[in-house]
């Protein structure tokens, strides 16, 4: 999904979010926070994932996430990470032949393009 987040000056910026109902936490990249001109609060949090591999987040921040396509908005707490995942999809998907219902508004109209993930929104948002 592409979502809006306000920067330090109140200007809306667009970021790419991965919605992951298997994650219990929300994550945001340090690059995203820096681009917003915001400062996170120091807090070390151990994070474990696939194959029980562990890493640490060293900061936390609350951001207001806003839909690009509706009036929905929500304040969420994010753990700050250097990187969340590799670019997704791993390579761009050819969209010829994919038929979407008419009138459908996609949360990310460029879902098929390989690109960085700025934030991950988990199930406990």
Residue 91 domain-assigned (yes or no): no
Q: What's the pLDDT score for residue 125? A: 61
In this structure, are residues 93 and 112 in contact, taking their beta carbons and an 8 Å threshold? yes
Give the CATH number of the domain where residue 46 resides: 2.40.70.10
Q: What's the pLDDT score for residue 97? A: 83
Q: What's the pLDDT score for residue 85? A: 94
Residue 105 domain-assigned (yes or no): no
Residue 94 domain-assigned (yes or no): no
Q: How many CA atoms lie within 13 A of 1 on its CB side?
A: 19
Tens of pLDDT, residue by residue over 3-14, are 999 999 999 999
Residue 37 domain-assigned (yes or no): yes
Q: Where is 31: in which H helix or E strand?
A: helix 30-36
The domain of 50 spans: 2-86+111-121
State whether residue 85 is helix, strand or coil.
coil
Q: What's the pLDDT score for residue 121? A: 97
Burial bucket for residue 104 (CB in 10 Å: 0-12, 13-18, 19+): exposed
- Per the structure, how many domains does the chain have? 1
Residue 10 domain-assigned (yes or no): yes
Residue 103 domain-assigned (yes or no): no
Please provide residue 57's backbone torsions phi and psi, each rounded to the nearest 5 degrees: -100, 135
Residue 13 domain-assigned (yes or no): yes
Rounded Cα–Cα distance for residues 53 and 61 (Å): 23
pTM as predicted: 0.91
What are 48's strand-pairing partners? Answer: 54
Question: How large is the average pLDDT for residues 97-115?
Answer: 91
Residue 116 domain-assigned (yes or no): yes
């Amino acid at each position: 999904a592409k979502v809006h987040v306000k920067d330090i000056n109140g200007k809306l910026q667009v970021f790419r979010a991965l919605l992951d109902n298997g994650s219990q936490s929300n994550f945001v990249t340090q690059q995203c926070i820096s681009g917003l001109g915001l400062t996170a609060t120091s807090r070390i949090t151990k994070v474990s994932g696939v194959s029980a591999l562990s890493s640490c987040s060293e900061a936390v921040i609350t951001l207001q996430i806003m839909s690009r396509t509706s009036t929905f908005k929500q304040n969420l707490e994010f753990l700050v990470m250097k990187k969340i995942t590799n670019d997704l999809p791993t390579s761009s998907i050819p969209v010829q032949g994919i038929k979407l219902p008419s009138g459908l508004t996609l949360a990310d109209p460029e879902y098929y393009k390989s690109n960085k993930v700025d934030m991950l929104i988990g199930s406990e948002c």
